Amino acid sequence: MKLKKLSKIAEIISSLGIIISIIYAAFQFNENTKALRSSNANNIISSITNWYAELANNKQSSEIYYQFFIDPEVLSSEEKFQCVLNLHALMLNFQNAYYFDEDETIDSRINNSIANIMNAAKDSEGFKYYWGMREESFASEFKNYVNSFLDKKIETNMNKIYQSENY
């Protein structure tokens, strides 16, 4: 009888241990999810920030890009090539942000911020040139997402950076 009673107590204790382990694992999973979201957001923002900083800190590249967005046709073939490839690198970061948002592994506010950047650039001649050339290199969901912006007329103050002072 005593052994049976001890066996029951051991069962109860082991059941409590399992329940505590499951609660702890759920807590750890939640913390890991937060860490993953934070890491993804940090990597995307860092990559985009580095792209902008490198462009901004190189006078020649800044001038070429400025001209590219206003009228890419006045640039040499090599300059257009440089702009298209560099813009493609940025857009690949935007695509990553889109999919991380879809998978809920980044805060959707980050992707919304990026959407505002694309929205501001979409009417520039350079973006039209770029997108017409490189659209097919993106995944279909992201293409549809970007194309959904192209027909919308949304004015923001960010649009002004892509406009020539001569217009």
pLDDT one-digit tens code per residue, 25-38: 777 777 777 777 77
Task: Indicate the burial class of 133 (C-beta count within 10 angstroms; 0-12, 13-18, 19 or more).
Answer: middle
Residue 44's nearest CA partner among 137, 102, 110 is 110
If pLDDT is split at 50, 70 and 90, which confidence band does 119 have?
Answer: confident
Position 166 scores a pLDDT of: 45
Distance, in Å, from the CA atom of 149 to the CA atom of 154, rounded to the nearest integer, reads: 9
Cβ atoms 159, 122 nearer than 8 A: no
Q: Can you tell me which residue has the tokens 């940025």?
A: 90
> What's the pLDDT tens digit per position in 66-102?
999 999 999 999 999 999 999 999 999 999 999 988 8
Position 160 scores a pLDDT of: 57
Percent of the chain scored above 90 by pLDDT?
Answer: 34
Stronger pLDDT, 138 or 46, i.e. the higher one: 138
> What's the pLDDT tens digit per position in 5-26?
878 887 888 888 788 888 877 7
If pLDDT is split at 50, 70 and 90, which confidence band does 164 have?
Answer: low
Mean pLDDT lowest among 82-91, 114-123, 145-154, 155-164: 155-164
| pLDDT, mean of residues 111-139 | 89
| pLDDT, mean of residues 49-55 | 87
